[in-house]
Structure 1
Amino acid sequence: MQRFYEIGLRSNFSFLDGASHAEELVERALFLGLSGLGLADRNTVAGVVRLHAAAKLNGLEFRPGARLVFDDETPELLAYPLNRKGWGNLCRLLSEGNLRSKKGVCTLWEKDLLAWCEDLLFIAMPPPLASHADVETFETRLASLRSRLADRLYLALVPRHDGADQRNFAELDGIARRLGLPLIATNDALYHAPSASRLPMWSSPSASM
């Protein structure tokens, strides 16, 4: 039986999003029997070193990446380097966003993505799809990315546990089929256990591992 690989993980380096330390995330992954972890903190790779060290110490496969959150209408993307050049491109992309903003803020636009997208694999994270208009808008934006990123773009299936997952999964499956995008599952995990959540009450609902 193939074990689950959590590719949408955020750590406490995702300010106001993630809540768990690297060691806690690795310990939980081992307890759950996961095959590996992919770390994608919000517009940063600052947490990669600690999680890499914790994963290596425990023999857990690890992939470093980042969650790209844009200031225009570009969908949120998990970005994972395919090789050393890809890692350099990801770092340059994030540097572009950091240099144009005040300290602690990373402002990314689609043009940054297109300038530094080579040798990176991307996973599009769907927004809430509450209406047919939401579905059409998201699909249009994905189609534009698909034409530029080709076979390096995937679409995430993310459970929201809001009673609408079956409908949302059907919508995402339809988008994936029409655009020729592979689907990949993630819990979009923010912390290693529900008790670890330290997020403000107004934050959007999310999942633990």
Structure 2
Amino acid sequence: MNSYAEIQVTSNFTFSHGASHPHELVKTAASLDYHAIAITDHNSLAGVVRAHTAANEHNIKILVGARLDFIDCPSLLCLPTNRKAYGDLAALLTKGKRRTIKGQCKLYYSDLVKNNAEQILVALPPTIIDHAFLEHLKKISKDSPGNCYLAASHDYDGNDNHKIAQLAELSHLSDVPLVASNNVYYHVPKRRVIQDILTCIREKCTIEQAGFKLKANAERHIKSPHEMARLFSSYPEAIMHTIEIA
């Protein structure tokens, strides 16, 4: 049985962030024998059609979804479980885009609460993990009981063991299951160069000026299920939850 599904993937349809096309991401996941792969572009479903076409071609399950970036709380992944839920997510994104200028999306958490039926929600940790984030987890768990998870991914900065232990503790305190992710932005490591260029475009600076705005490594690619299991060997339930979601 395929033992891993990637739930957090940003494609080049999130302009100035993702550095790979949806079909490249899907094809790579299929070649590594993934159970499934999600496409979760930022406040957008734009990459879903091409991902779905590639999934049919390469015989892999695709999880349709989006990363929702809110004005008033940390970001969430939203993964619809059926056609109605997909329509609700599309309507939510349309509402957010109508509130602001072209190319942007203005969402509030209350918008999601009105459209959260049959959506799987995955909380994304902020840079600073504190008591406020714990309260946020408890709130989304209350608002969407049984459909919430907490994402954990490695930053490869020497602090991963401490950070993921923190997240595991918050998972326990909030009763929101921990789920593994590599927070993918490109299908193979060499695309990191493209992501660096995109970052400079977004930040309006040169490579020489970018400094810490650039990612420190090329680890945000699609890793093998074996490697993901190794990274989360202390939290095997986080790997199992990826299959549960898929």
Q: Give the secondary-structure state (helix, strand or coil) at the position aligned to 2:34.
A: coil
Match of 1:124 in 2: 123
Q: Which amino acid aligns with 1:24?
A: E
Q: Residue 75 of structure 1 contacts residue 142 of structure 1 at CA under 8 Å; is this kept in 2?
A: no
Q: Cα deviation per residue 1:99-144 (whole Å; 9 max; x = unaligned)?
A: 1011111111112111211111100111224xxxx32121122122
Q: What's 2:220 paired with?
A: 207
| Aligned residue identity for 1:7 | I
> 1:40, 1:78 within 8 Å by CA — same for their partners in 2?
yes
Contact 1:7 1:37 in 2 (8 A): yes
Q: How far apart in 1 are the matches of 2:40 and 2:155?
A: 18
Moved more, 178-187 or 137-146: 137-146
Counterpart in the other structure of 2:79:
80
Aligned to 2:50: 50
More off after superposition, 40-49 vs 155-164: 155-164
Of 171, 174, 190, 1:176 maps to: 171
Q: Who is 2:14 aligned against? A: 14
Residues 9 and 189, structure 1, Cα contact 8 Å, conserved in 2: yes
Could you tell me how far 1:204 is from its partner in structure 2? 4.9
Distance 1:61 1:118 in 2: 22
Q: Does 1:161 align with 2:156?
A: yes
Matched with 1:103 is: 102
More strand by share: 1
Rounded to whole Å, the distance in 1 between the matches of 2:170 and 2:24 is 35
**Cα pair 2:30 2:59 within 8 Å, conserved:** no
| Bigger mean CA deviation after superposition, 134-143 or 61-70 | 134-143
Q: TM-score, normalized by length of structure 2?
A: 0.79
Q: Distance in 2 between matches of 1:9 and 1:97?
A: 21
Query: In structure 2, what is the Cα distance between the partners aligned to 1:203 and 1:110?
Result: 29
SS in structure 2 of the partner of residue 26 of structure 1: helix
Gap runs ≥5 in structure 2: 200-209, 223-246
Q: How far has the Cα of 1:175 moved from its partner? A: 0.6
Please, what TM-score do these two structures have when normalized by structure 1? Answer: 0.92
- Offset at residue 33 of structure 1 (A): 2.3
Aligned to 1:186, which of 181, 184, 189?
A: 181
SS of residue matched to 2:44: coil
Distance 1:183 1:123 in 2: 9
Amino acid at match of 1:207: R
Counterpart contact for 1:83–1:119, Cα < 8 Å: yes
Distance 2:186 2:149 in 1: 24
What is the Cα deviation at residue 2 of structure 1?
Answer: 4.5
User: What residue ranges of structure 1 are gaps of 5+ in the alignment?
Assistant: none
SS at match of 1:172: helix
In structure 2, distance between residues paired with 1:40 and 1:21: 13
Give the % identical residues. Answer: 35
Q: CA RMSD in A?
A: 1.5
In structure 2, C-alpha distance between the alignment counterparts of 1:34 and 1:144, rounded to whole Å: 32
Q: Contact conserved, 2:122 with 2:149, CA < 8 A, in 1?
A: yes
Q: Give the aligned partner of residue 205 of structure 2.
A: none
Q: Distance in 2 between matches of 1:103 and 1:156?
A: 30
